């Protein structure tokens, strides 16, 4: 298939005649209590990437740092970030930005691309990744980390594994690591192994025998689970193998082992784990939990730092913001690195790396902030996503608005609905938009939604029901509700002076687990003064949390249009 940019792919696919919803702008706003205390000039704030940015991998080329994270079945996938100070990050592209690179089919939203790693050598950038249930392990390359990235080169020797990464040794050899099944029959649930194999960097294929470096974890007698996310680096004549262990929930951790040879045997740090938040006081104020999946990197002056994932629950183990990217300095003692000391809590603010402080990024990623999209550019900013690969052209930027074709593909259909989304990046957040929509038949709807996955979401917008235009709140809170049909709150639109095609402002606010759904009419144009917001309803629910919904993603806000089926 001829390579197309994402925009060219859409323009090349004619749209069928369907109702079209027009959105004038979209504004996201968020601020949490910890954001109100500004860090000192020489400090930074955690998380450095708020919202659903899990499994960070970081690398340095000269004075430039590049970072990628997981996106699972969202498209475009694998965001690529750039920084000069490890604190201020700007998204420069997405590595999976052409529908033909990978096919997410109708996979669950927490399948697809897991835990990418990024490395560079001799002017070429490499991303390794696993497309779970959609092809297996693969490698893509680019000369410019902003893209374009190549089509996948598949790695069949890694079948059954995840989390591949490369290690470039000083003798010129390249090695590939991954989490995989253990040799023989697994001894318990979560029993995995870390494998190594030589890699031909010119032919882009594995060569030679595969070998297990770690069986189960650092102490097999304790039945450790999910040893994964392996990285090897070299320091002082030692090869260090850094891995996540304990699963991605509250038992998550990072462990370290070392060897005098790259293929082992590796000895474990007797003071593992080197990063965790398990075992701390559950009632501590503003907790950060589930820390792990770290990668170490050096600054140009030789200092060591680590990026890793963790979460910010609003209560217990309930969070809707997903797993986020954090940063901490790495200390060395007795030949071993350490990120947190036993009993140490991850700090919300810490001293910045000793690097020049760049100007603030155009789109903030940490602290309290507001981001407004006016849709007056030639393409969407790179942080906008959709569910799975597009199969047809269903959106366009036109006349300072984004227009969505209402298609008979819904939010809960495990498909690619007309839904454009951006991440929820704060515990306390709101999203607002203005929609213009004229439904043509029962079931046609357009508006704003907050979504955790296909089975857990809320919709607020205009809808036709029994020939009437209504302002509706549709909700799905689990697979059983999907089978029975969505529950809905509806109010006759005419009663509130809402007419088909006229602009209507919509807002969803969330504070922890409390959601408020509001609307406001506009006086004429979208630039005219807005009438006061009117709450339509509110609800309290933990449905949009990972604890309830399952999976590995976080909530997103977005614009949606659907036609009746």
Q: Residue 466: which region, alpha, beta or left (left: phi > 0; alpha: psi -120 to 50)?
A: left
Residues 119 and 499: their CA atoms lie apart, in Å, by: 54
Give yes or no for a contact between 214 and 243, defined as CB atoms under 8 angstroms apart.
Answer: yes
Spot the catalytic one: 228, 455, 477, 486.
228
Q: Which residues pair with 468 in a beta bridge?
A: 465
The encoded tokens of residue 405 equal 């074709």
Written as one string, the DSSP assignment of 154-195 is: E-GGGTT-EEEEEEE-TTS-EEEEEEEPPSSS-SSTT--EEE
Look up 374 and say whether it is catalytic.
no
Handedness of CA 489, 412, 416, 442 (dihedral sign): negative
Residue 354 neighbours by CB under 8 Å, 6+ apart? 299, 301, 303
Q: Which residues pair with 179 in a beta bridge?
A: 162, 194
List the one residue out of 171, 110, 161 whose CA is nearest residue 138. Answer: 161
The encoded tokens of residue 351 equal 């001293």
Spot the catalytic one: 24, 32, 35, 55.
55
Residues 340 and 179: their CA atoms lie apart, in Å, by: 24
Give yes or no for a contact between 552 and 54, defined as CB atoms under 8 angstroms apart.
Answer: yes
Give yes or no for a contact between 522 and 498, defined as CB atoms under 8 angstroms apart.
Answer: no
End-to-end alpha carbon distance in the chain: 32
Cα torsion 266, 272, 278, 279 to 10°: value is 140
Residues 58 and 54: their CA atoms lie apart, in Å, by: 12
What SS3 state is found at 302? coil
Look up 228 and say whether it is catalytic.
yes
Q: Cis peptide leading into 156, omega within 30 of 0?
A: no
The encoded tokens of residue 561 equal 């249009």
List the one residue out of 122, 67, 129 whose CA is nearest residue 297. Answer: 67
Give yes or no for a contact between 253 and 275, defined as CB atoms under 8 angstroms apart.
Answer: yes
List the one residue out of 560, 142, 91, 114 whose CA is nearest residue 362. Answer: 91
The Cα angle at residue 77 between residues 461 and 548, in degrees rounded to 5: 55
**Which residues participate in catalysis according to the annotation?**
55, 228
């Amino acid at each position: 298939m001829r390579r197309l940019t994402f925009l060219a792919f859409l323009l090349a696919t004619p749209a069928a005649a369907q109702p079209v919803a027009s959105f004038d702008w979209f504004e996201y706003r968020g601020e949490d209590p910890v954001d109100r205390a500004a860090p000192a000039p020489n400090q930074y704030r955690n998380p450095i990437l708020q919202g659903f940015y899990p499994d960070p991998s970081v690398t340095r080329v000269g004075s430039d740092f590049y970072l990628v994270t997981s996106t699972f079945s969202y498209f475009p996938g694998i965001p690529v970030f750039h920084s000069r100070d490890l604190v201020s990050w700007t998204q420069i592209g997405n590595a999976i930005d052409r529908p033909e690179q990978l096919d997410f089919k109708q996979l669950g939203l927490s399948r697809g691309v897991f835990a990418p790693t990024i490395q560079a050598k001799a002017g070429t950038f490499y991303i390794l990744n696993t497309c779970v249930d959609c092809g297996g392990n693969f490698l893509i390359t680019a000369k410019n980390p902003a893209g374009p990235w190549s089509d996948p080169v598949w790695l069949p020797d890694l079948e059954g594994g995840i989390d591949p990464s490369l290690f470039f040794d000083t003798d010129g050899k390249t090695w590939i690591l991954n989490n995989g099944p253990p040799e023989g029959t697994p001894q318990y649930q979560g029993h995995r192994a870390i494998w190594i194999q030589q890699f031909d960097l010119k032919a882009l294929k594995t060569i030679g025998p595969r070998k297990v470096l770690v069986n189960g974890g650092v102490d097999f007698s304790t039945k450790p689970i999910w040893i994964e996310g392996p990285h090897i680096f070299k320091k002082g004549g030692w090869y260090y193998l850094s891995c996540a262990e304990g699963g991605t929930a509250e038992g998550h951790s990072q462990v370290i082992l070392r060897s005098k040879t790259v293929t082992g045997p590796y000895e474990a740090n007797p003071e593992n784990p080197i990063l965790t938040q398990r075992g701390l006081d559950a009632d501590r104020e503003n907790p950060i939990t589930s820390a792990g999946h770290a990668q170490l990197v050096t600054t140009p002056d030789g200092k060591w730092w680590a990026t890793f994932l963790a979460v910010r629950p609003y209560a217990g183990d309930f969070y809707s913001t997903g797993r986020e990217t954090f940063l901490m300095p790495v200390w060395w003692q007795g030949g071993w690195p350490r990120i947190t000391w036993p009993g140490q809590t991850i700090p919300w603010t810490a001293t910045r790396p000793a690097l020049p402080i760049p100007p603030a990024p155009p789109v903030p990623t940490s602290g309290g902030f507001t981001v407004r999209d006016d849709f007056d550019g030639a393409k969407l900013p790179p942080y906008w996503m959709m569910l799975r690969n597009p199969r047809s052209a269903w959106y366009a930027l036109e006349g300072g608005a984004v227009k969505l074709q209402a298609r008979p593909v819904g939010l809960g259909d495990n498909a690619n609905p007309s839904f454009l989304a951006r991440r929820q990046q704060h515990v306390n957040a709101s999203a607002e938009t203005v929609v213009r929509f004229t439904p043509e038949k029962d079931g046609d709807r357009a508006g704003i939604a907050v979504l955790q996955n296909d089975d857990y979401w809320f919709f607020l917008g205009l809808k036709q029901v029994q020939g009437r235009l209504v302002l509706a709140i549709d909700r799905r809170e689990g697979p059983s509700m999907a089978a029975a049909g969505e529950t809905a709150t509806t109010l006759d639109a005419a009663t509130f002076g809402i007419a088909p095609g006229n602009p209507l402002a919509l807002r969803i606010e969330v504070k922890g687990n409390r959601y408020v759904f509001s609307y406001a009419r506009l006086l004429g144009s979208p630039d005219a003064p807005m009438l006061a917001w009117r709450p339509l309803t509110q609800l309290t629910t933990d449905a949009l949390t990972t604890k309830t919904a399952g999976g590995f993603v976080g909530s997103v806000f977005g614009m949606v249009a659907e036609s009746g089926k």
